[in-house]
Structure 1
């Protein structure tokens, strides 16, 4: 997904940024909201939060996999 995001023209990235930000804020949970640092760092923020969720384990990882796959398909 990171590679695909990097290939998007800026206007497309800006159009999809709210969807990614929504996922970020959901993943952050009570720690959120995640600061809006612009589209250039969205994937870095997503990478960190995905790692945190995976490290925490639990049932959230199955939902996370589905949500990431959905987002990736939307970016196509």
Structure 2
């Protein structure tokens, strides 16, 4: 979990440094990862996937944080870490 927490902090810090235009341009990347983690977590729990609500670009880091912690609680640490690492490398 420590590696996941570190990577989540890096992604969150990078997201907070983006301009509003950059956030808008990259919002789908954050949403996609959050949704993927939510779907995997629900599958691991034997539940049907649910769509994450679109609450705006400014709260995407918070939504992603919740999904990452839920995924880790479901034992999906490797998937969360891989997704976060790929996301961080993709963000400007």
Q: TM-score category by the smaller chain? A: 0.7 to 0.9
Unmatched segments (≥5 aa) in structure 1: none
TM-score by length of 2: 0.74
How far apart in 1 are the matches of 2:79 and 2:35? Answer: 15
User: What is the CA RMSD across the aligned residues, in angstroms?
Assistant: 1.2
Unmatched segments (≥5 aa) in structure 2: 1-10, 40-47
How far apart in 2 are the matches of 1:66 and 1:56? Answer: 16
Higher RCO (C-alpha 8 Å, min separation 6): 2
Q: Which residue of 1 aligns with 2:89?
A: 73
Could you list the structure 1 runs, at least 4 aligned residues long, displaced by more than 6 angstroms after superposition: none
TM-score by length of 1: 0.88
